């Protein structure tokens, strides 16, 4: 099986879902702890949540491997995304709950981390960059949408409960003010209105990871946005079960956000 799937669309929008993967290579699974084998920190079901994106003409890239193999949304050189705050590494050794992923003394060393970067991290980014280049050859402006989800309560990263929709633009550096304003308007009207009832924030705790910050270059025709969803909005956070009834209104909001991106890029 391939390390990732890439659907090449026709619209000026690429949806990246870097933490959707759940698989562990056999050699890694064999040494992982029970907590590691459960891969609890997966962005569960986001590929299913975003399945409609192909109907909009978007390109979509989805990995096979878990973030425990190599985190595709981390700086390969190890630079911090949020200096002074807790965050996970390119190759994590603990879960968000602080459980060990490997037995003591069997954590990946520098040589293994470098190999995983080459084998698992780099091919995804080569494909992502290649697809953006292909799209830019057709359109003067394209949008990269990085889709994520996380438990609504993760003390390692934030206090209390996370807002439902967390839009990140690297504090405005990864996309134009016009696109950020248009997306914020959708969240106010579609997520925060009576029909939605979801909470939202722009550039709150999650401002965008490596993918958003690295590829978002508005002056070069590539604008990048990250959406971090609180998982309870569309699934059961304890059993990891997808809940279609919960997910439907979330998908309606995401659909409106993605259409806004397409209209902005095409316009």
- Predicted TM-score (pTM) of this structure: 0.95
User: How many other C-beta atoms can be found within 10 angstroms of the C-beta atom of residue 243?
Assistant: 15
Would you say residue 261 has pLDDT above 50? yes
| Phi, psi (deg, nearest 5) at residue 16 | -110, 135
pLDDT at res. 158 = 86
Phi-psi bin for 92: left (phi > 0), alpha (psi -120 to 50), beta?
Answer: beta
- DSSP SS3 for 200: strand
Would you say residue 251 has pLDDT above 90? yes
**Contact by Cβ (8 Å): 127, 59:** no
Condensed to tens digits (0 to 9), the pLDDT of residues 194-220 reads: 445 899 999 998 999 999 999 999 999
Q: Is 219 exposed, middle or buried (0-12, 13-18, 19+ CB in 10 A)?
A: exposed
Task: Please give the Cα distance from 48 to 164 (Å, whole number).
Answer: 18
Residue range(s) defining the domain that contains residue 179: 4-266
Condensed to tens digits (0 to 9), the pLDDT of residues 101-127 reads: 999 999 999 999 999 999 999 999 999
Question: Which residues, listed in sequence order, are joined to residue 166 by a DSSP beta bridge?
Answer: 201, 228
User: How many other C-beta atoms can be found within 10 angstroms of the C-beta atom of residue 55?
Assistant: 9
Give the mean model confidence (pLDDT) for residues 253-264.
97
**Contact by Cβ (8 Å): 145, 180:** no
- DSSP SS3 for 191: helix
Condensed to tens digits (0 to 9), the pLDDT of residues 28-67 reads: 999 999 999 999 999 999 999 999 999 999 999 999 999 9
How many domains is the chain built from?
Answer: 1
The closest alpha carbon to 123, from 6, 9, 13, belongs to 6
**Contact by Cβ (8 Å): 260, 55:** no
pLDDT at res. 156 = 83
Exposure pattern of 98-109 as b/e (b: 16+ CB <10 Å)?
A: eeebbeeeebbe
Task: Please give the Cα distance from 70 to 120 (Å, whole number).
Answer: 6
CATH number reported for the structural domain that contains residue 46 in this entry: 3.40.630.40
Task: Please give the Cα distance from 151 to 153 (Å, whole number).
Answer: 5
């Amino acid at each position: 099986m391939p390390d990732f799937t890439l659907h090449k669309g026709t619209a000026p929008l690429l949806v990246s879902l870097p933490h959707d993967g759940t698989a562990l290579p056999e050699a890694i699974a064999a040494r992982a702890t029970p907590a590691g084998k459960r891969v609890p920190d997966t962005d569960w079901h986001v590929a299913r949540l975003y399945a409609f994106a192909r109907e909009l003409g978007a390109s979509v890239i989805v990995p096979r491997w878990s973030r425990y193999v190599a985190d595709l949304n981390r700086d390969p050189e190890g630079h911090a995304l949020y200096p002074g705050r807790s965050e996970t590494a390119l190759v994590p050794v603990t879960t968000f709950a602080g459980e060990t992923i490997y037995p003591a003394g069997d954590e990946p060393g520098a040589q293994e981390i470098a190999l995983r970067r080459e084998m698992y991290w780099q091919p995804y980014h080569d494909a992502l960059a290649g697809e953006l280049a292909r799209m830019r050859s057709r359109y003067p402006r394209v949008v990269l949408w990085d889709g994520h989800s996380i438990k609504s309560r993760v003390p390692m990263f934030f206090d209390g409960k996370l807002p439902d929709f967390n839009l990140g633009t690297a504090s405005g550096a990864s996309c134009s003010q016009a696109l950020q304003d248009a997306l914020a308007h959708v969240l106010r009207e579609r997520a925060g209105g009576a029909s939605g009832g979801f909470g939202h924030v722009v550039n709150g705790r999650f401002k965008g990871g490596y993918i958003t910050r690295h590829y978002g270059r508005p002056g070069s025709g590539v604008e990048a946005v990250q959406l971090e969803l609180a998982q309870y909005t569309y699934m059961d956070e304890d059993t990891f079960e997808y809940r279609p009834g919960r997910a439907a209104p979330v998908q309606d909001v995401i659909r409106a956000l993605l259409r806004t991106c397409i209209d902005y890029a095409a316009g």
